[in-house]
Structure formats: structure tokens, C-alpha cells
């Protein structure tokens, strides 16, 4: 069913409950690619352990992330849905690419600096080489396009550099991937600090709206969202909070910024915040209902994992056979 289709790859970490930023900036857009591309959507649990995880919680969130993929509309018959650790080639290619990635390149990664500051007692080698594993995730499947958030753009550029370097030494081996950043909702910001990206690891629960938050919690969080001292629903300097709420409302309602400004002309922030909260909650309700249904059927989720891993392992094996041969590894049948 996937023959001759170009490949899209993306992954989500099972570390913390996914937010509307993950939904609007990534998962919601994935469906658009399913007909035209062979889409591989991975639960990247190997990336998650760069930060200490509770093992039982990590297993639980792995199931939950897979279920959320499907609850958000990703059909396992049309997409390859799988768990990273079920495909050993990710780790193998990650190590090989480490040997073709320069120390200086990894030192410049802004996410390493940010995560090191947050995890000062656990600045491990995996945290440093995380972008090379991400490059392996992508290059392993000869990926043409990678839907990424703005914060991952630097990592994708590194993956392109690594692919071009390897191809320059050994001849054509990897497809050099292109990035796709959704234009309107590339970055959903914190409700508490609207100049910062919304993060699922934020300790301030009022800053983050999670896909699985109850309706009353969603509306309450939007009511508490930080705005400014004005009262007009419009874009402008110093109106980061309102612009963020407008972006979220537009993403869920399909309305442009101009249409939102017209719709709420003459209305105050309180009315607007309530409208954003209700629109968000209404949009997430069917996702939450389908998620609950899927989580009750663990056997089905494991079948999806197994089928996805079989498809991914087959694709990965073809790339790895080529890579091993080119770098001089001996393979035995």
C-alpha cells in the first residue's frame, strides 16, 4: 500500500502528557499527509530517557501516546505507527552517525543548553548526542519530509548536514530531508508566559493545556491566561498573550486573525478567553472519547505496535544493509 510513495517521518516523546501545542503544531497536521505520502509516526521513547523517567510511567505513556496518535485521526492502516525501541536500527544508526557528527556541531545545539540548565544533576552523553539520534530516526527511512516545530528546526538542519557529509564520503546513501513547518500554528505559547513555548514539562499547570485535560480545567486555564492591560482583541506590540490566544482560537475554529478581530470587536478579554476555552474543549472532546476507548483495548494497541514495528524494521533493514556495506562492516547471512 505504501509502494512508490515519498516518506514523511515524525516522532513524539512519551514524556509527560501531550499539550495542545503538540496537537496543533504537529499531530493534527499529520493526517494531511496520509494519502500522498508513506507516513511513519514514532513514539520516540529512546529520546525520552535522556531525562530520568519512572519506568512504569514511561511504559504507560508509551501506550497513551500511541492511542493519542490514533485518537487524533491517524489510521494505522494508512500510516506506520510504531515505538522507537522496537526498531533496534535507530540506536545502531545513531551510533554510526555519531562518528560523522562534529563535537562543535552538537555543542551549538540550543536545546542541549536549555535541557542542561533544567537538568544540571544529569547532563549525560545522551542529552548531548540526542540530535544525532534524531538524525538517525529520519535518515533511516529515506525520509523526504519532516513536519517539525520551530524549536526542532536546528536539529533538522543538522540531520541534513550529516546526510550530505555521509553522502559526500560514500556516495548517495541517504535522502536529504526537507522540513515542513505548519504556517499558522508553528509555535503555541505558554498561557502564563506568552513569550515562551508551551511545554508539557512546565511545572505551572496553568501555563499548559493538555489534550486530555477535563473540559472545566481547559476553560479555567484559559480564563487565567496572562494577557495585558488593554482590552482590544487585536494583534500588536506588547500583546503577546492575546496574539497567542488568537492563534489557538484560529487553529481550532479555522478562522483567520482578521476574522477573529472582527468577530470580537468591542468585546473584552473575559468574553474572548471564555470563547477560546469553550472552542478548544469542544474540539478536544471527540479526541478524548476515542482515546478512552482505545486505552481500554491494550491488546489492540499492542497489535498496532507489532504491525508498525514489522513495517519499520523492514524499511530500516534496507537502509542499514547499505550503510554497513559502505562503511566496511562485515555482514553475515
Q: Which residues are catalytic?
A: 115, 197, 200
Q: Distance between CA 285 and CA 178 in Å, rounded?
A: 33
Q: Distance between CA 115 and CA 15 in Å, rounded?
A: 14
Local structure of 197: helix, strand or coil: strand
C-alpha cell at 243: 496574539
Query: Which helix H or strand E contains 152, and what residues bound it?
Result: none
Beta-carbon contacts of 174 under 8 Å, excluding residues fewer than 6 positions away, are 139, 142, 163, 166, 167, 319
Decide: 42 and 80 in contact? Cβ < 8 Å. Answer: no
Measured CA distances, 214 to 217, 219, 278 (Å): 5, 9, 12
Decide: 175 and 47 in contact? Cβ < 8 Å. Answer: no
DSSP string, 22-76: HIIIIIHHHGGGTTTSEEEEEE-HHHHTTS---HHHHHHHHHHHHHHHHHTT--T
Strands 38-43 and 145-147: unpaired
C-alpha cell at 70: 490514533
Amino acid at each position: 500500500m505504501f509502494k512508490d510513495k515519498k516518506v514523511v517521518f515524525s516522532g513524539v516523546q512519551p514524556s509527560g502528557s501531550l499539550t495542545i501545542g503538540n496537537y496543533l503544531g504537529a499531530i493534527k497536521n499529520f493526517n494531511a499527509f496520509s494519502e500522498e505520502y508513506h507516513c511513519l509516526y514514532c513514539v520516540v521513547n529512546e529520546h525520552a530517557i535522556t531525562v530520568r523517567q519512572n519506568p512504569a510511567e514511561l511504559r504507560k505513556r508509551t501506550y497513551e501516546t500511541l492511542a493519542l496518535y490514533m485518537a487524533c485521526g491517524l489510521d494505522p492502516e494508512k500510516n506506520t505507527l510504531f515505538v522507537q525501541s522496537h526498531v533496534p536500527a535507530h540506536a545502531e544508526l545513531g551510533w554510526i552517525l555519531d562518528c560523522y557528527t562534529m563535537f562543535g556541531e552538537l555543542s551549538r545545539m540550543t536545546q542541549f543548553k536549555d535541557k542542561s540548565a533544567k537538568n544540571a544533576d544529569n547532563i549525560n552523553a545522551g542529552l548531548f548526542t540526542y540530535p544525532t539520534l534524531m538524525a538517525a530516526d529520519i535518515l533511516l527511512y529515506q525520509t523526504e519530509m519532516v513536519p517539525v516545530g520551530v524549536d526542532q528546526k536546528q536539529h533538522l538542519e543538522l540531520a541534513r548536514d550529516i546526510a550530505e557529509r555521509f553522502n559526500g564520503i560514500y556516495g548517495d546513501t541517504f535522502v536529504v530531508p526537507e522540513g515542513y513547518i505548519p504556517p499558522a500554528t508553528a509555535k503555541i505559547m505558554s498561557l502564563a508566559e506568552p513569550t515562551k513555548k508551551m511545554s508539557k514539562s512546565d511545572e505551572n499547570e496553568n501555563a499548559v493545556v493538555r489534550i486530555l485535560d477535563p473540559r472545566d480545567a481547559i476553560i479555567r486555564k484559559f480564563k487565567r491566561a496572562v494577557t495585558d492591560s488593554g482590552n482590544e482583541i487585536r494583534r500588536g506590540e506588547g500583546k503577546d498573550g492575546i496574539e497567542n490566544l488568537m492563534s489557538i482560537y484560529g487553529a481550532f475554529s479555522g478562522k483567520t486573525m482578521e476574522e477573529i478581530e472582527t468577530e470580537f470587536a468591542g468585546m473584552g478579554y473575559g468574553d474572548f478567553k471564555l470563547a477560546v476555552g469553550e472552542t478548544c474543549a469542544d474540539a478536544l472532546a471527540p479526541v478524548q472519547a476515542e482515546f478512552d476507548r482505545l486505552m481500554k483495548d491494550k491488546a489492540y494497541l499492542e497489535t498496532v505496535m507489532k504491525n508498525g514495528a514489522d513495517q519499520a524494521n523492514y524499511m530500516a533493514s534496507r537502509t542499514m544493509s547499505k550503510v554497513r556495506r559502505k562503511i566496511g562492516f562485515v555482514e553475515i547471512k
